[in-house]
Structure 1
Amino acid sequence: MTGRTPSEPLRLPAGSLLLRDFEASDTDGVLSIVGDERVTYWLSFASRDRAEAQSMLDGILKRQLETPRSEYYLAIADSDSPETVIGFVRLGLGGVKAADLGYALRHEWQGRGIARAAVSRMIEFGFGDLGLHRLTANIGPQNTASMRLVESLGFQREGTIRDHVHTNGAWRDSVSFSLLEGEWQPAAV
């Protein structure tokens, strides 16, 4: 376990990165991700304006206070600049010892191995600290980089969910991947 009380903000070191609970001052960081069509093109929702980004952050902050938590929606930051949000990673809890995994990075931070490090740390947190049995990742079929990432971390392709999300004015399929706790190989990261 993390050795923290539920009232303390969650902070997970991940090499040169820090995964941390969001803060009320993170609106600009959230907007830099969810307000950028180059990023949201790959996500399950369309780009959001400042008011929508603020509403999203308000919801995250509210859910952080739940006991027990229904999700772990964490900001990704560089350890040397923990106040600057460069992405997010999320475990949405559901079912029995299961969670859905999601992640995104600001456009200018993509392609540097940051998503791999953040997702690896979140997997470790999910299976180790939270005692989860199964993680699922649903990815748009054109997002080959994200599919390669989860497969490189041991996720197995399960199939296609047809018309899974409505985003950017159209229905989109998702390719579903899963990872079971016994399949996770932390040394392989």
Structure 2
Amino acid sequence: MRDFTLDDVDGMLRVFGDGRVTQWLPFDSRNRDETQARIEAAIRNARAFPRTEFSLAVAKRDDNRAIGFIRLVHAGSQGEDIGCAIAADEWGRGYSTDAHRVILDFAFHQLGVQRVAGWIPLDNEQRIKALDEHGAVGNWDSPRTKYAAITCSSTVRGGTAI
């Protein structure tokens, strides 16, 4: 994982512009200009001090090409929020799991966060199974929404959970 650069726009269009990916996100597919605007915002947020938003590229090790993102918003007393998406043609290779482990380790051990929360679509069965296996707490049976709230705490698996 690393901070975004403008060179990541085309790679991230594979994430933000693909309906297979955005069906799991709280926004519709984006075009190239909208994707570039998101990357530019991430770059600006990375320069903020104190830094409260960590929107990072999930990059392949062999060529450092962005294939997804992970985002942690560190809002102090307002809580912490996490989100992640990986390009559809990279699914099933552990990139999301690895990114969650790294960002949660950072949140729990470097930022001193006690709990991180997020949302997951109830029909994303593969991700829910992975979250359950790693100790996340979720309201998987929520009848009123298509998303479930999830929580990971620093006490789950020594602070490394997904």
TM-score, with structure 1 as normaliser: 0.78
Structure 2 equivalent of residue 73 of structure 1: 55
Structure 1 equivalent of residue 104 of structure 2: 123
Output the CA distance in 2 between the equivalents of 1:105 and 1:132. Answer: 25
Gaps of 5+ in 1: 1-18, 164-172
Output the CA distance in 2 between the equivalents of 1:178 and 1:49. Answer: 32
Distance 1:183 1:86, change over 3 A: same
Q: Is contact 2:19-2:28 (8 Å) kept? A: yes
Counterpart residue type for residue 135 of structure 2: G
Shift of 1:137: 2.0
Secondary structure of 1:62's counterpart equals: helix
Secondary structure of 1:120's counterpart equals: helix
- Number of equivalent positions: 161
1:181 aligns with 2:162: no
Q: Can you list the C-alpha shifts for 1:107-160, whole angstroms capped at 9, x where unaligned?
A: 110011221111111111110111111111201111112222222222111464
Q: Can you list the C-alpha shifts for 1:61-110, whole angstroms capped at 9, x where unaligned?
A: 1111111112111101122211x111111111224283111111101100
RMSD between aligned residues: 2.1
Secondary structure of 2:77's counterpart equals: coil
Gaps of 5+ in 2: none
Instruction: Pick which of 179-188 and 84-93 moved more.
Output: 179-188
Structure 2 equivalent of residue 58 of structure 1: 40
Q: Percent identity?
A: 31
Any residues of structure 2 matched to 1:149-168 within 5 Å, and which? Answer: 149-158=130-139, 160=142, 162=144
Secondary structure of 2:92's counterpart equals: coil
TM-score, with structure 2 as normaliser: 0.90
Distance 1:94 1:81, change over 3 A: same
Distance 1:134 1:80, change over 3 A: same
Output the CA distance in 2 between the equivalents of 1:73 and 1:66. Answer: 12
Structure 2 equivalent of residue 5 of structure 1: none
Any residues of structure 2 matched to 1:28-177 within 5 Å, and which? Answer: 28-82=10-64, 84-96=65-77, 98-158=79-139, 160=142, 162=144, 173-177=146-150
- Give the structure with the larger helix fraction: 2
Q: Is contact 2:108-2:159 (8 Å) kept? A: no
Distance 1:187 1:174, change over 3 A: closer
Counterpart residue type for residue 21 of structure 1: D
